[in-house]
Structures are given as C-alpha cells and as structure tokens.
Structure 1
Amino acid sequence: MDTQHPDLHPLFQEHLEILKSRTDTALQRGGFDHLVIPSGAVRYQFLDDRDYPFYVNPHFKHWLPVTRAPGSWLVYTPGHRPKLIFLQPADYWHVVPEAPAGYWVEHFDIITIRNAAEARAHLPGDATRCAVIGEENAALDSMVPNNPQGVIDYLHYHRVVKTGYELAMMRVASKIGTRAHRAAEAAFRGGESEFGIHMAYLDAARQTENELPYSNIIALNEHGAILHYHDLKHAPPSHLNSFLIDAGASFHGYASDITRTYAGKDCAEFQALINAVDEVQKNLCSKVRTGQEYGALHVDAHHQLAGVLHDHGFIRMSAQSAVESGVSATFFPHGLGHPIGLQVHDVAGFAADDKGQTIDRPAGHPYLRMTRSIQPGAVVTIEPGLYFIDLLLAKLKDRPEGKDIAWDKIEKFHKYGGIRIEDDVACTDGDPENLTRDAFALLDGR
C-alpha cells in the first residue's frame, strides 16, 4: 500500500490533525475529557449461533482504516496521541484480524488484547468524563455508549466536509465501482440474468456482498420501476429491454454510489429518453458549488425532468404546471441525492449548523435526504430519475391532471421500468469534481 500510494502519509497525518481539532472543540462544548469509540460488537441471530455480518462503527473508521476488528476501541484525549485498543483474539474458529500495519499505525498508541474484557483496563477510568459514541451492545462494564447529542451534532456537521485523505479514499472507491459497472454492463449485453450480472459485478469489484457499501440493485426491464429492487432473478427474461444498476464499492471504509441505466438492443426510444435524463443529470452535477442549497437543486431537478417529460410527449402540461401540481413526483418520486462518505447515506444532510438546528425539506418533497447548503469539500450524490410505477400512475389517472397525460405512450414505456443516473460529486473552490465520471473516463482511456 505504501509503495503504491506514497502520498498517503502526509494526507493521513493532515486528516488526523483535522479530526483532533474538531474533536477538541466537540468535547469542550459537551464538557467531556475523552472521546471513546467502540468499533462495535458482533450480533447473533435470534435463537441461533450464527452472527450477522459485522459492520464497523462509522465514527471508528473515521479515525483509521480498520473495518474488521469487532471488540476494539479508540480513545482520544486532547493533547495526547489517539490510542487504539485492538482485539486480536486467540481463536481457531474464526479468522483473527491481522495485526495493524500500514501508513497510519505510526500515529497511534496501539495496545493488542486477546479478550474483549481486557479492553476495560486500557479505557479511561471515569466513564462519566467520556463521550462514548457507539451502539448499546458495545458496552463494557461502566463504559456504556452515551452518544451525547451536542458532541455528535458538532462532529456530524463537520464530517460532511471531507479531508484530502478522505477524497483520496473515495476516488479509489469510485474506480473500483466503475470497473465493476463495466463488467455488469457487459454481462447484460451478453444476455445474463440479474443474478448473473450481480455475480459479474462482485467478481470485477473483488468484494463480497458484505463488503459492498450497500446491497446492489440489479434490475432488468420493468423491475427498474422498483426503487429498491433486490430480488435477483436467476433466469434471464425472454427479451432484454433495459437494465438499471445501482451499485457501489468500498475502500478503507469509504463508499462510492453509482447508478447507470442501459437500453436493450433495438430500443432506440428508450435510449433517447436515457440520453435526455443524462443531460439533465450532468447539468445538475455542474451546479454542485459553494453555497448551492441542495433543496433548491432538488426542485430544479423536478423542473428539468418535467421538461423532458413534456419534450418526449409523456405530458401535455407545461413543466412548471407539472411541478406545481405534483405530477412530476409521479415520475420522480425520490430525492435528488444525499451526502456520501463513511456511509452511503451520510450524516447531517439536514443540518443548518453544528448545534443541531435543521433545515426543513421543501414542501411536497418528503423523501429528500439533504437540504443544507453545499460547502467546499462536501461530496454529494446527484441521482435524478424517471420511472413508470404502476402504483403512482394509477393514482395520477384518477386526478384531474390525468387528462394531460399521454397514457398510450406511457403504456409503451412500461416494459422499460425506469431510468436513474447517479454520480458522486465533490464541491471544490471552483468547478465540481465528478468522482464517478472521472473514474469512468480513466477506465475508458479518455
């Protein structure tokens, strides 16, 4: 890792100094002396000895790229080096986490323990002086997660702004994701089933389902109209009309989130609609700039997509009327996107400040995941879509606006399901950095 990325040492050191500075302020505001973060504990299935996949506490992996060490702890006390209490159990039933190594270890005091209970001796003695951030099942004796809201509000608000190190991690996650997307597209063109496409994706990403940042959406034909489709049919349909894939990748705890839609052979009418949505998406990406209110950008997306619906003959009303009447929400029922980083749907999307104040969603848009203004260093997803969803279309048919809908054309497009196109975009001091399209361009030699 170090020989391939010699610049990670200074990037990580800078990242750590920023985290320390943020934490110093958060602890002072909350009246605490220490930040204590458990990595998390393994959970077992009800009435069984099978454990669920382990997912590390995002606050833990914010400090160091360790994602598979349940029972470990991080302790930070202002003015001192952060301490990692690393559980490496004596166990022949399971894979034991490898000893810490790499570009980051020199910045931590590392204590290796063989039993989870041993950690308590290395944690601060007075738990009441600790801000302990984690799940309840990670509690160890008196060291119980208290998740002080003031501390969390401050850390979450500032976590939206990525450090140079974090952006480097997300660029790699984007490269892995785009590589796997190309493999999935090839599998679709080759006539594979949803399950077959999914397996091609995993193979190209070199990640298991549990290592991905979220469950893949692999939707052929009308399944593209199901926003969170996860069924993965094993048999391919008789005709491949369309393919919608929403899938990302992970790297050192950071996520990419990428969506593309493809038309099948001899489906020129659907390809034309994909092209129109793609132009809207690129226009919206170009507006990821300092001070842009994300809620306003979401409303802008509705106006642009309503224009596409009008221009392509799906609606006879104006784009403005379609938005004001809520008709556009029938075809674009979800939010434009969300913050992304340590988590796919990252924190503080509604934050007005670092004291817990929030910004309401625009009226009539209940599913939007972000309303705050965009700051330099923030990374957001931009994912407009158009869908032909039976449930929503049936409701529209019964409304007065139903008379202005070209139902015969909609019936022709039902077999395609829908379109969604999504990029991860970083706000800078100048033009936005499109992590997704940059990764595709690098992959394609452009």
Structure 2
Amino acid sequence: MACYRMGPETHAIPMTLFRENREKVIAELRKGRTFSGRALILLQGGDNISLYDTDVDYVFRQESYFTYLFGVTEPGCYGTVDVASGATTLYMPRLPAEYAVWMGPLLTPDDFRKKYEVDAVHYADEIESKIAALNPSVLLTLAGPNTDSGLQAKPANFSGIEKFVVDSDILFPVIAECRVIKSPAEIEVLRYVARVSSDAHKQVMKQIRPGWHEYQGESVFLHHSYSVGGCRHMSYTCICGAGSNSAILHYGHAGSPNDRLIQDGDMCLFDMGANYGGYTSDITCSFPVNGKFTDDQKLVYNAVLAARDAVCASAKDGVSWVDMHLLANRVMLGELKKGGLLKGEVEDMMAAGLNAIFQPHGLGHLLGLDVHDVGGYLSHCPERPNEPGVNRLRMARKLKAGMYVTIEPGCYFIEPLLNKAFADPNMSQFLKKQEIDRFRNFGGVRIEDDVLITENGIENFTFVPRTVEEIEAWMAQS
C-alpha cells in the first residue's frame, strides 16, 4: 500500500486517506444536485516560489485543499475527480532531462500513478486535450474566502480553460465543510503530530534555563520535531515569549525574532506546533524558566488552568463554542477575584467587557490541514459575534463529533489594554489597582491543548505537564 512516510519510526499516511476524502466530497456534491453530463472537480496544486529575484526557492509546502484530495507533495500539479465515477487523474509537470542530474530521478506518469494510487496520470501540458477528450459538462473549480486571513482561494487555471464551462461557486462550501469533520485516518495523523509536538515541548521544558535566549528554546523544539518526528515543517512561526514578551500574542515575527535573553524568574509562553504530511498541531506551554513557580505565577497560571479544565469538562457534540469561550472567561475572572486582583460580581465584569482585557483572543479554533482550519464562518454557519472577546472567535458554531479544535484560554497583562480598562469607569470599578500594578511586567499565561470533539466529551491529544506540580517535577529532572 502506497503511503507518505518520512522514515521507519514515523507515521505512515496511507494514500487511501486521500481517496476517502475524495469519496466524501463527491458524495456531498451528489446530494441534492444533478449534474447533466460529466462534472469534474478541478484543483491546481501549489508552485515553487522563489525568494524574491534569486534562484533560491522557499521550501515547498503543498496547498491544503490539493493535499486534502490527492496527498501530492510535488509542486506544479493539477488533479481532477469525476463526480459520477470517482475516477481520479493527476497532471504532473513535464521536467527537462537535466532534472535527473541536479534534482534526482525523473518519475514517469506510471511512477506517479502508483505513488498516489490514482486512476491515471498525464503531463500538465496535456491537460486541455485530456480534459476535452472526457467532454465534461462543467469543471468545478475552487474559489472562496478564508475568513481568518481574508484572502481568496484561487481557482485552477490553465491555457485553454476558457473553452470549458467552469463553475467556481459549487465546490468551495462543500469541500470546506468536509474538512471540518475528520476521518479516522486523519485523526491518527493528527494524534501523531500532536504527540511529536508534545514531546518536543517537554524537551524544551527539560533543557531550558536562565541565560538562554528565546530562540534556543525554539531550536530544541525544531530539532526534536524533525529529528525524531520527521516533521520538516512547522504549522506556524514559533512564538517563544519570555517575561513581558509572553503577553505579545503573536510574538516571534521578523521584528521580534525570539531573541530576548531569558532572565531567572521569567515566565515563558512557548506556542509551537509541528506539521506532518500537511497536518498541523498547535500547543502552548507556559512555565517559569527556572522550574519553580512564584506565588504570583501560580495565581495566574492556576486561573488559566481552571478555565481550561472547565472547557475540557464541558465541551462535546452539540455545545456552543461561543458558550465555551464565555465559560472560560467567567472561570478565569472568578479565579483572579479569589486571588485578590479583582472585586465585584463576575457577571457584571463580563457585561462590562473586562474579560476581553485579560483575554483579547478567542478560546480556540478548528485545526487540521491549516493551523486555523477552514469552516469557521461558512454561509450556513452562525455569523461572527460582535461582543468584546467573542468577536475574536474563529468560529461561532456548535461543536460536532469529529471536529478537531484547540482549547487555549489565556490571561495577559497587556499595557495598552490595562490602561484602557483603568480609564473606563465601567471596567475600573472591578480592578484593584495596587494589586494589578504588581503584574504590569508579568507578561502572560496561555494553556493550549489540541482536542477531538466526541459525542460525550473530548479526547485530548496533548500530553505535556499541566499542573504546577507536574511542571515543577518535570523541569526538576533537568
């Protein structure tokens, strides 16, 4: 059986996974639709991208929808699926003979067919004539918005496509919704990459110490993910914030490249996830660099942990994701009140929007072939809420068994947001200024798990120390 695998100790992704995905999509397309003649799904894969005007390419990663249907890792390809029969054809680039000198053996179309277990393979420069020979009534191409980035999926295009009837509206909502519910084979890939990422986080926690730079912790994660797990790609740019940087939600970008010296006593917030075969993980661990929590660090950490635990105990099929976000916020504010930072009634704090001061981001998001996976705000889904905090949610749906999501409550002491709260009498009435001022340079805490939604609860794929006691015991082994 053909499969994607990086080595004997890594997970084997069978090509049947992608065939099952194709069968799922065409089954949904057939529901309530009668295509007269032959309807073909047509997708275009990604291309190599040069680094500006140089002859150096970025390391290639396949476009996610193309991965979902075909599992192809090479650039420059097209793929079609016959909606009636399921017959699948790939179109591979015709490479020059000298490719074999510089890049490795040239695959023949038959090699490609066997590698990806499809019905036929032709060269990409033959696509017009080969599709014309099938006499399709319509080509279903992919076009639609990504509600996180605002960018559009680009429909397939080739010279001569204007000779065919093309529909770019039907496919997108169907294939995006299919990606929301994970198949058993997909779940096993996600389980694997979450375990690799969990183990990599544990290595960071075991090895890190005061005097390291943030990027050194990142390097441990990258090394373990690749050398042990076969994960060449990361799901996103690693966020490795220490001290006050742990309150910068998307730290680690080019302007702040995880370069701060970590001081004894700093809290670290490391948000990192490996990618295997296109499938993502997204895990955040927060811990003191010296392995020992102070009382203030315990207070904030345990408030976030209580919020996570409340959601993990309540999330299941049929539950509103918006309600889960609000539950996490209520629990966290209640813990901060018990710790002496806040006063008043938690429901009044929520009504004033104080929850979005301490956690400005959403509770979590769908996860799969993209780290912020598709399907959050499709046309049949609830619209994005307007209230502070929940307006940052990447979906407002009810949970379904088979969804794979992150649960990632956080508590941050972000200077402009604290100043905003103190300047607003509706919020400042709940704040104990002297106590909160003590946390001005604290940073933040986030706890993020990757979980599968089931009929009766969740299955947590993240295996890292989570309680204060577990973290201290694990880090003491260093």
Give the unaligned 5+ runs of structure 2: 144-152, 468-473
Going from structure 1 to structure 2, the CA distance change for 1:64 and 1:285 (only over 3 Å counts) comes to farther
TM-score, normalized by length of structure 1?
Answer: 0.86
Quote the residue 2:125 is aligned against.
117
**Cα deviation code 1:80-124 (max 9, x no counterpart):** 4212223373425557797898999474124264xx534444445
Q: Please tell me whether the aligned partners of residues 280 and 304 of structure 1 are also in contact (alpha carbons under 8 angstroms).
A: yes
Q: Tell me, yes or no, if structure 1 residue 425 matches structure 2 residue 445.
A: no
Q: Tell me, yes or no, if structure 1 residue 225 matches structure 2 residue 247.
A: yes
**2 CA distance for matches of 1:110 and 1:263?**
55
**Cα deviation code 1:202-229 (max 9, x no counterpart):** 0010079971111110111110110000
> Which letter maps to 1:434?
N
Q: Tell me, yes or no, if structure 1 residue 374 matches structure 2 residue 399.
A: yes
Q: Tell me, yes or no, if structure 1 residue 236 matches structure 2 residue 258.
A: no
Q: Secondary structure at the match of 2:392?
A: coil
Of residues 303, 306, 311, the one that matches 1:284 is 311
**Bigger Cα displacement from structure 2, 216-225 vs 134-143:** 134-143
Of residues 195, 199, 203, the one that matches 2:223 is 203
Q: Tell me, yes or no, if structure 1 residue 169 matches structure 2 residue 175.
A: no
Quote the residue 1:360 is aligned against.
384
Quote the residue 1:408 is aligned against.
434
Going from structure 1 to structure 2, the CA distance change for 1:87 and 1:386 (only over 3 Å counts) comes to same
Once the 2 structures are TM-superposed, how far is the Cα of residue 366 of structure 1 from its aligned partner? Answer: 2.0
Q: Tell me, yes or no, if structure 1 residue 334 matches structure 2 residue 361.
A: yes
**1 CA distance for matches of 2:415 and 2:342?**
16
Q: Please tell me whether the aligned partners of residues 27 and 34 of structure 1 are also in contact (alpha carbons under 8 angstroms).
A: no
Once the 2 structures are TM-superposed, how far is the Cα of residue 6 of structure 1 from its aligned partner? Answer: 8.3
Q: Secondary structure at the match of 2:257?
A: coil
Q: Tell me, yes or no, if structure 1 residue 69 matches structure 2 residue 74.
A: yes
Q: Please tell me whether the aligned partners of residues 139 and 167 of structure 2 are also in contact (alpha carbons under 8 angstroms).
A: no
Going from structure 1 to structure 2, the CA distance change for 1:272 and 1:167 (only over 3 Å counts) comes to same
Quote the residue 2:118 is aligned against.
108
Q: Please tell me whether the aligned partners of residues 29 and 151 of structure 1 are also in contact (alpha carbons under 8 angstroms).
A: no
Once the 2 structures are TM-superposed, how far is the Cα of residue 425 of structure 1 from its aligned partner? Answer: 1.2
Of residues 19, 39, 46, the one that matches 1:40 is 46
Q: Tell me, yes or no, if structure 1 residue 396 matches structure 2 residue 421.
A: yes
**Cα deviation code 1:287-331 (max 9, x no counterpart):** 221111111211222211211221111111221111110112110
**Bigger Cα displacement from structure 2, 331-340 vs 149-158:** 149-158
Once the 2 structures are TM-superposed, how far is the Cα of residue 392 of structure 1 from its aligned partner? Answer: 0.6
Q: Please tell me whether the aligned partners of residues 37 and 137 of structure 2 are also in contact (alpha carbons under 8 angstroms).
A: no
> Which letter maps to 2:157?
A
Once the 2 structures are TM-superposed, how far is the Cα of residue 258 of structure 1 from its aligned partner? Answer: 0.6
Q: Please tell me whether the aligned partners of residues 12 and 165 of structure 1 are also in contact (alpha carbons under 8 angstroms).
A: no
Quote the residue 1:160 is aligned against.
180
> Which letter maps to 2:41?
L
Q: Tell me, yes or no, if structure 1 residue 304 matches structure 2 residue 331.
A: yes
Q: Secondary structure at the match of 1:347?
A: coil
> Which letter maps to 1:77?
D
Give the unaligned 5+ runs of structure 1: none
Alignment: residue pair count: 436
Q: Please tell me whether the aligned partners of residues 216 and 248 of structure 1 are also in contact (alpha carbons under 8 angstroms).
A: yes
Q: Please tell me whether the aligned partners of residues 220 and 242 of structure 1 are also in contact (alpha carbons under 8 angstroms).
A: yes
Going from structure 1 to structure 2, the CA distance change for 1:168 and 1:194 (only over 3 Å counts) comes to same
Going from structure 1 to structure 2, the CA distance change for 1:289 and 1:121 (only over 3 Å counts) comes to same
**Cα deviation code 1:52-95 (max 9, x no counterpart):** 443322111112333x3111111100204212223373425557
Q: Secondary structure at the match of 1:83?
A: strand
Going from structure 1 to structure 2, the CA distance change for 1:127 and 1:143 (only over 3 Å counts) comes to farther
Once the 2 structures are TM-superposed, how far is the Cα of residue 379 of structure 1 from its aligned partner? Answer: 0.8
> Which letter maps to 2:142?
I
Once the 2 structures are TM-superposed, how far is the Cα of residue 169 of structure 1 from its aligned partner? Answer: 0.9
**2 CA distance for matches of 1:273 and 1:237?**
20
Q: Secondary structure at the match of 1:260?
A: strand
Going from structure 1 to structure 2, the CA distance change for 1:302 and 1:352 (only over 3 Å counts) comes to farther
> Which letter maps to 2:357?
T
Q: Secondary structure at the match of 1:245?
A: strand
Going from structure 1 to structure 2, the CA distance change for 1:358 and 1:233 (only over 3 Å counts) comes to closer
Of residues 261, 267, 273, the one that matches 1:248 is 273
**Cα deviation code 1:389-416 (max 9, x no counterpart):** 0011111111113243122222322333
Of residues 180, 186, 192, the one that matches 2:200 is 180
* Root-mean-square deviation (Å): 3.5
Q: Tell me, yes or no, if structure 1 residue 268 matches structure 2 residue 294.
A: yes
**Bigger Cα displacement from structure 2, 21-30 vs 419-428:** 21-30
Quote the residue 1:323 is aligned against.
350
Once the 2 structures are TM-superposed, how far is the Cα of residue 235 of structure 1 from its aligned partner? Answer: 5.3
Once the 2 structures are TM-superposed, how far is the Cα of residue 36 of structure 1 from its aligned partner? Answer: 0.8
**2 CA distance for matches of 1:310 and 1:103?**
62
Q: Please tell me whether the aligned partners of residues 174 and 439 of structure 1 are also in contact (alpha carbons under 8 angstroms).
A: no
**2 CA distance for matches of 1:163 and 1:312?**
43
Q: Please tell me whether the aligned partners of residues 30 and 151 of structure 1 are also in contact (alpha carbons under 8 angstroms).
A: no
Q: Please tell me whether the aligned partners of residues 175 and 439 of structure 1 are also in contact (alpha carbons under 8 angstroms).
A: no
**Bigger Cα displacement from structure 2, 285-294 vs 16-25:** 16-25
Q: Please tell me whether the aligned partners of residues 233 and 276 of structure 2 are also in contact (alpha carbons under 8 angstroms).
A: no
Percentage of matched positions with identical amino acids: 25
Listed as ranges, the matches of 1:128-143 within 5 Å are 129-133=138-142, 136=154, 139-143=157-161
**Cα deviation code 1:342-400 (max 9, x no counterpart):** 111111112463xxx54332533321111011111111111110000001111111111
**2 CA distance for matches of 1:218 and 1:139?**
40
Going from structure 1 to structure 2, the CA distance change for 1:85 and 1:428 (only over 3 Å counts) comes to same
> Which letter maps to 1:361?
P
**Cα deviation code 1:9-38 (max 9, x no counterpart):** 776664453244234449758997110111
Going from structure 1 to structure 2, the CA distance change for 1:70 and 1:20 (only over 3 Å counts) comes to same
Quote the residue 1:54 is aligned against.
60
> Which letter maps to 1:117?
D
